Amino acid sequence: MSAVIAEPWPTAIAYDPTTKVLQVSFESGECFALPAEYLRVESPSAEVQGHNPSQKQTVAGRAHVGIMNIEPVGNYAVRLIFDDLHDTGIYSWRYLFELGRDHQSRWKTYLQALTARNLTREP
- Mean pLDDT of the 99-108 span: 98
Q: Facing residues of 12 across strands?
A: 25
Q: Does residue 1 form part of some domain?
A: no
Percentage of residues in the chain with pLDDT exceeding 70? 96
Q: Does residue 14 form part of some domain?
A: yes
Q: Hey, what amino acid is at 116? A: A
Q: pTM for the whole thing?
A: 0.92
Return the DSSP state at 54: G
Q: Does residue 122 form part of some domain?
A: no
Find the CATH number of the domain harbouring 41: 3.30.2020.30
Number of domains in the chain: 1
Whether 57 contacts 75, CB under 8 Å: no
Please give the angle made by the CA atoms of 55, 57 and 30, to the nearest 5 degrees: 105
Quick one: pLDDT band at residue 5, thresholds 50, 70, 90?
A: low
- Asked if pLDDT for residue 6 goes beyond 80, the answer is no
